[in-house]
Structures are given as C-alpha cells and as structure tokens.
C-alpha cells in the first residue's frame, strides 16, 4: 500500500508540474517591425504597360459587374478597353501622377438603357481624369479636384 501511495503522489506532482507553465522570459528581444510600405504609389505608366484593369466603382457607385468594363494600358501612351457595351481605343498623356485620356474612339453598338448610361458615365469619367494613383492594389483615377472618379482592380 505505501508503494501505491508513493506512486499516486509522484503522478500528482507530475500533473501539477505540467499544469503550471513556466513564466515567459524571452532570451532575445523580438526583431524590429519591418518598415511600413506606403499604401499609395505614384502612377507609373511604364510599369502599367500591358496591364488590364476592371472597373469596380464609378464616382462612388458600385459598377455593374456583369458589364465587365475594362481599361488596358497598351503602352505608356495608348489605352484600350470596354465600356460595357462598346470597345474603345485612345491615347493617354501621362507624366508622373498626371494623366489625361483622349481622344477616345469607340464602336457605336446600341445596348439596353442602363448599360448605355453606365458606359457614358465611364467615358465621361475617363475624360475628366487628371491624375492617377495605385493604392492597395487598386488604380484610382482622379479629377482635377482630387476626387476619385473611377476605381479599378487589376484583372487576372
């Protein structure tokens, strides 16, 4: 019987030791946090050449996803895209973050009213664009007052 008691005391002490974790004492300080990456980067036409962007938002209103409006930077000075009903091509004058699209030429296909209205809004927003910035993976086109007129996400 004493042997059994010794065994129980031994098991109990093992369980007690496992139940209480030792205090945390780091041996070395944690590494410093990496420097913050800026959320916004200046628009760079050279790096965007060949990229395709999909319209997500027009003037603060969510774009109809089924229209699949796009903007492609064919080169540092040429753009093409799809307005939701018609395809377009045109020029882009880009200097730093300053951007001006136009003239833009589009096909003349007729579509249902809502699609035509969103397409017209998109083309007007492109004409109003005066600057651009890439922020958190989104391309923001801004008017002369700095208001975002089109927000686009990179196409897959």
What fold characterizes domain 40-154? Lipocalin (2.40.128)
Mean pLDDT of 99-115: 90
Residue 120: Cβ within 10 Å count: 13
pLDDT, residue 58, reads 94
In angstroms, the CA 118 to CA 3 distance is: 87
pTM for this predicted structure: 0.70
Cα 78 to Cα 49, 73, 95, 126: the distances in Å are: 9, 6, 14, 13
> Please, what is the average pLDDT of the chain?
79
User: Which tens digits make up the pLDDT trace of 1-24?
Assistant: 555 544 544 444 444 444 444 443
Q: How confident is the model at residue 154 (pLDDT cuts 50, 70, 90)?
A: very high
Give yes or no for a contact between 53 and 156, defined as CB atoms under 8 angstroms apart. Answer: no
In angstroms, the CA 130 to CA 112 distance is: 30
Mean pLDDT of 131-152: 94
pLDDT, residue 38, reads 46
In angstroms, the CA 51 to CA 15 distance is: 62
65 versus 34: which is more confidently predicted? 65
In angstroms, the CA 87 to CA 71 distance is: 10
Weakest mean pLDDT among 40-54, 66-80, 87-101, 112-126 = 40-54
pLDDT, residue 11, reads 45
In angstroms, the CA 3 to CA 10 distance is: 11
Mean pLDDT of 125-139: 93
Does residue 28 carry a pLDDT above 50? Answer: no
pLDDT, residue 101, reads 93
Q: How confident is the model at residue 100 (pLDDT cuts 50, 70, 90)?
A: very high
Q: Which residues contact 42 (CB under 8 A, 6 or more apart)?
A: 96, 97, 133
pLDDT, residue 80, reads 96
Give yes or no for a contact between 132 and 142, defined as CB atoms under 8 angstroms apart. Answer: yes
pLDDT, residue 87, reads 96
């Amino acid at each position: 019987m004493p042997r059994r008691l010794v065994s129980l005391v031994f098991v109990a002490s093992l369980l007690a030791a496992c139940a209480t974790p030792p205090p945390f004492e780091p041996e070395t300080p944690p590494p410093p946090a990496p420097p913050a990456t800026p959320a916004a980067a200046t628009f760079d036409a050279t790096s965007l050449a060949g990229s395709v962007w999909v319209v997500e938002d027009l003037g603060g209103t969510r774009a109809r996803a089924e229209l699949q409006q796009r903007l492609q930077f064919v080169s540092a000075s040429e753009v093409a895209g799809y307005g939701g009903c018609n395809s377009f091509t045109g020029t882009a004058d880009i200097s730093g973050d300053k951007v001006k699209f136009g003239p833009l030429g589009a096909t003349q296909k007729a579509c249902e009213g809502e699609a035509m209205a969103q397409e017209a809004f998109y083309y007007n927003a492109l004409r109003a664009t005066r600057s651009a910035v890439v922020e958190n993976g989104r391309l923001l086109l801004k008017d002369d007052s700095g208001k975002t007129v089109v927000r686009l996400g990179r196409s897959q």
